[in-house]
């Protein structure tokens, strides 16, 4: 039997473009990113993209600080998946192309998936250990394996636990198999798992669900950077994952400036912070389709939404679907 490997969740390039005037995805509006930009655009936050390699794109060239390969292939991204996820997080705000959720955050690129789109336990674990050495704040992992294969990845599990203990936030795609449980490593309690919704805030038909799903985010028809200075639209929890990574970058950046009453030291603090700004999109409370809900920056109290006002906003959101 072949040894299990990590793979990209099934995804599809919907359409491709060569030039754009600067585009903000509908996710910017759904998650109310412009409200967060009043406070920060991700300054002083280091985000690692553990994916298919080093982008070569004008919207990312000023964003990337360091890179490394852990696959044995040339470090350049020839698949396009890693370039797309990197742009969702941090594409530069430069008046053209696309702009990321946290455009002033800085990127570190770990090529953990080879040019076939798959990676080993060793390549993922080594990528995470490199991120620890680089003192990364957030790791984006838009990749995975079936939960039933979890035992085949002991090195990755140990590396994730080590990163968690170091206070690094790991954001993982839930998977695109329309399964009743999220994949690995999204299922680990040390990570934050993300499912996908569409532009109407409905769960994407492909998005995995289950009791270990943490949050939902925009993940259908997301335009971002692609190969050869082009742009394309993709759909998948791979796209929702960096939306949340960008949101977390904004939260961490603000809290580096001002800890306030809710300091953030670790993944559990971040998870609780995301819960406080999330809007309940399914049955009341946690549910298997949306997890703890949809993170949305409110204009009420900066980053934090008082409970009574959050309920009012929730009632308004739900009224849109009646």
138-141 and 169-173 beta bridge pairing: parallel
Question: What is the spatial distance between Cα 196 and Cα 142, in angstroms, rounded to a whole number?
Answer: 12
**Helix axes of 267-277 and 237-257: crossing angle, nearest 10 degrees:** 100
Spell out the alpha helix ranges (H) of the chain: 26-30, 33-37, 81-90, 121-133, 154-165, 237-257, 267-277, 307-319
pLDDT of residue 72: 96
Q: In this structure, are residues 171 and 139 in contact, taking their beta carbons and an 8 Å threshold?
A: yes
Spell out the alpha helix ranges (H) of 108-209: 121-133, 154-165
The larger pLDDT score, comparing residue 240 to residue 3, is at 240
Q: Does domain 6-264 have CATH number 3.30.70.120?
A: no
pLDDT of residue 304: 43
pLDDT of residue 118: 94
| Among 270, 81, 277, residue whose Cα is nearest residue 193 | 270
| Predicted confidence (pLDDT) at residue 229 exceeds the cutoff of 80 | yes
Least confident segment among 109-113, 234-238, 263-267: 263-267
pTM to 2 decimal places = 0.89
pLDDT of residue 255: 87
pLDDT of residue 46: 98
pLDDT of residue 185: 98
| Count of alpha carbons within 13 angstroms of residue 200, beta-carbon side | 6
Question: What is the spatial distance between Cα 116 and Cα 111, in angstroms, rounded to a whole number?
Answer: 12
Which phi and psi angles does 52 have, rounded to 5°? -95, 10
| Predicted confidence (pLDDT) at residue 265 exceeds the cutoff of 70 | yes
Question: What is the spatial distance between Cα 301 and Cα 276, in angstroms, rounded to a whole number?
Answer: 11
pLDDT of residue 12: 60
> What value does the mean pLDDT take over residues 300-304?
40
pLDDT of residue 320: 42
| Predicted confidence (pLDDT) at residue 300 exceeds the cutoff of 50 | no
Residues listed for the chain = 322
- Binned at pLDDT 50, 70 and 90, residue 310 comes out as very low
pLDDT of residue 303: 44
CA torsion 265-253-43-238 (nearest 10°) is 80
DSSP symbols for 23-60:
B--HHHHHTTHHHHHTT-S-TT-EEEEEES-B---TTT
Over residues 125-173, the pLDDT tens digits come to: 999 999 999 999 999 999 999 999 999 999 999 999 999 999 999 999 9
Question: What is the spatial distance between Cα 204 and Cα 12, in angstroms, rounded to a whole number?
Answer: 14
Question: What is the spatial distance between Cα 249 and Cα 30, in angstroms, rounded to a whole number?
Answer: 17
Provide the mean pLDDT of the chain: 89
Cis peptide before 185 (omega within 30 of 0): yes
The larger pLDDT score, comparing residue 11 to residue 198, is at 198
SS3 of 216, please? strand
Question: What is the spatial distance between Cα 145 and Cα 214, in angstroms, rounded to a whole number?
Answer: 18
| Domain segments of the chain as ranges | 6-264
Distance, CA of 200 to chain centre: 19
The larger pLDDT score, comparing residue 9 to residue 153, is at 153
Q: In this structure, are residues 93 and 101 in contact, taking their beta carbons and an 8 Å threshold?
A: no
Q: What percent of the chain has pLDDT over 70?
A: 85
Which phi and psi angles does 131 have, rounded to 5°? -60, -40
| Predicted confidence (pLDDT) at residue 302 exceeds the cutoff of 50 | no
Over residues 67-107, the pLDDT tens digits come to: 999 999 999 999 999 999 999 999 999 988 999 999 999 99
Between CA 94 and CA 101, with CA 95 as vertex, the angle to 5 degrees is 65
| Among 41, 33, 31, residue whose Cα is nearest residue 253 | 41
The catalytic residues are 51, 81, 238
Cis peptide before 197 (omega within 30 of 0): no
| Among 248, 263, 296, residue whose Cα is nearest residue 136 | 248
């Amino acid at each position: 039997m072949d040894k299990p490997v990590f793979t990209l969740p099934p995804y599809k390039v919907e359409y491709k473009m060569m030039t754009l005037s600067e585009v903000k995805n509908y996710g910017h509006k759904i998650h109310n990113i412009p409200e967060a930009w009043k406070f920060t655009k991700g300054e002083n936050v280091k985000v690692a993209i553990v994916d298919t390699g080093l982008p070569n794109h004008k919207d990312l060239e000023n964003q990337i600080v360091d890179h490394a390969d852990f696959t044995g292939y040339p470090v350049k991204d020839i698949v396009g998946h890693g370039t797309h996820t990197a742009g969702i997080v941090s594409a530069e705000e430069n008046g053209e192309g696309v702009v990321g959720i946290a455009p002033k955050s800085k990127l570190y690129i770990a090529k953990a998936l080879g040019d076939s789109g798959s990676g080993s336990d060793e390549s993922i674990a080594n990528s995470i250990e490199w991120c620890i050495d680089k003192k990364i704040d957030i790791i984006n992992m838009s990749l995975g394996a079936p939960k039933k294969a979890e035992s085949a990845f002991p090195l990755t599990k140990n590396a994730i636990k080590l990163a968690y203990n170091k206070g690094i936030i790991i954001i993982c795609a839930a998977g695109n198999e329309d399964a009743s449980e999220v994949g690995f490593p999204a299922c680990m309690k040390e990570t934050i798992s993300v499912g996908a919704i569409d532009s109407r805030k409905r769960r994407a038909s492909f998005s995995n669900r289950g009791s270990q799903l943490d949050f939902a985010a925009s993940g259908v028809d997301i335009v971002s950077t692609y190969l050869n200075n082009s742009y394309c639209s993709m759909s998948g929890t791979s796209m929702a994952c960096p939306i949340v990574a960008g949101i977390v970058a904004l939260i961490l950046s603000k809290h580096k400036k001002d800890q306030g009453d809710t300091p953030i030291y670790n993944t559990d603090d971040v998870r609780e912070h995301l819960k406080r700004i999330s809007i309940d999109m399914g049955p009341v409370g946690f549910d298997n389709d949306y997890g703890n809900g949809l993170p949305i920056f409110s204009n009420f109290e900066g980053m934090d939404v008082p409970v009574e006002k959050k309920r009012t906003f929730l009632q308004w959101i739900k009224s849109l679907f009646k």
